[in-house]
Amino acid sequence: MCGIVAAVGSDNVLPVLMEGLKRLEYRGHDSAGFAHYRLKEIHEQPEAVANALEGRLGDDAVRVEALGPDAERLLAATRQVHIVACGTSYHAGLVARYWLEELAGVPCQVEVASEYRYRKVVAQPGTLFLTLSQSGETADTLAALRHAGRRPGTQAYAGSLAICNVPGSSLVRESDLALMTHAGSELGVASTKAFTTQLTTLMLVTLALRQVRGGDPALTARLVRRLRYLPTLLGDTLMLDEEIARLADDFAGRRHALSLGRGSQMPVVAVASMSPQLEKLRSNLQEVRARGGQLLVFADPDAGIRHEEGMEVISVPACCQYLAPIVYTVPLQLLAYRVAVARGTDVDQPRNLAKSVIVE
């Protein structure tokens, strides 16, 4: 506590105070036998996703009433979605845009919350203002919600929906409808289960919108069945940890790695799920190999991608293309964790990365 008190006279009181409080928070929690909180929270994802789904799935449809007492009216009035968020939550929103437009047939735009107030956003009548925040206290996201409620043309909004992990937070209190992710406490600064539960909850919203708008119930039923199996699928995917750890040492000595690109003797990580773009990806992989790139591919068992010289392939449990962004997040998290450990970095509190931003 002395370190916190000593900082009060400095110019940067708040950042130092928050850092001190964060360290105290770590001391008060148990990592449950895992080497780091980050690894513990990666392994908590099957349970966290199960909690996010609890009580929200019927036999062959999403229980729209479980999303809130006014959910059906709000969703029925929705003609467009604006997703506003920061950091990891923003990236969850980018994934949801694909789902909302393809599965629900609703136009969607995703905005960085810090920029939302500083340009003239056009909101068509029936726009759902959807915010994402783990804490519900993210300063820019809160300011964007308040700005949307005040600005001219507010009547264009069908209403506001917050997806959040903290009941009673400012974002939840100030939104028309709130949907909890039920991720539980996440202490590791780099987000894990908060991200996958946000994606899971966004899929629930997508399917609820699809149902209210009269989408094909057969596809909805198939996706609901797959959602119900998702926690088990994530548990199966965690079994890849040992195989990923074996490859991490090769990454640890490298200065650079690309998610996909070209370069001599550079490790390239690729994700090959069962998507309509699989053949194009296969061509990209061959281009990388031809230029001396070293490939690590996380692939669906049915993708037809096999081990070759210069290409390591890790088989990820089969899943449908719509849930692949959730499932494939897990091996990528494990790879990042294992490489970080091998490099000797602070896995739980990496430099230059904040858990949340509570000031603008």
Write out the two tokens for 198. 């946000």
Convert the pLDDT of each residue in 268-282 to its tens digit.
788 888 888 888 888
Strand pairing category for 177-180 and 80-85: unpaired
Residue 192 has pLDDT above 50, yes or no: yes
- The reported pLDDT for the residue numbered 354 is 67
- Closest of 123, 102, 111, 116 to residue 203, by C-alpha: 102
Yes or no: say if 49 and 199 are a contact pair by the CB < 8 Å rule.
no
pLDDT, mean of residues 205-226: 95
* DSSP for 327-341, written as a single string: HTHHHHHHHHHHHHH
pLDDT band at 148 (very low <50, low <70, confident <90, very high): confident
Domains delineated in the chain: 2-30 (no CATH), 48-231 (3.40.50.10490), 241-342 (3.40.50.10490)
Convert the pLDDT of each residue in 6-53 to its tens digit.
333 334 444 444 444 454 455 556 666 788 999 999 999 999 999 999
Letter for the amino acid at 333? Answer: Q
Convert the pLDDT of each residue in 217-263 to its tens digit.
999 999 999 999 999 999 999 999 999 998 887 777 676 666 553 33
Phi, psi of 66 (to 5 degrees): -75, -15
Yes or no: say if 66 and 289 are a contact pair by the CB < 8 Å rule.
no
Single pTM value for the model: 0.86
- Closest of 220, 245, 356 to residue 296, by C-alpha: 245
DSSP code of residue 58:
-
Letter for the amino acid at 60? Answer: D
Residues paired with residue 296 on neighbouring β-strands, in sequence order: 269, 312
Yes or no: say if 204 and 92 are a contact pair by the CB < 8 Å rule.
no
- The reported pLDDT for the residue numbered 5 is 34
CA–CA distance, 239 with 138 (Å, rounded to integer): 34
Letter for the amino acid at 58? Answer: G
- The reported pLDDT for the residue numbered 258 is 61
Yes or no: say if 144 and 84 are a contact pair by the CB < 8 Å rule.
yes
Convert the pLDDT of each residue in 151-182 to its tens digit.
555 567 889 999 999 999 999 999 999 999 99
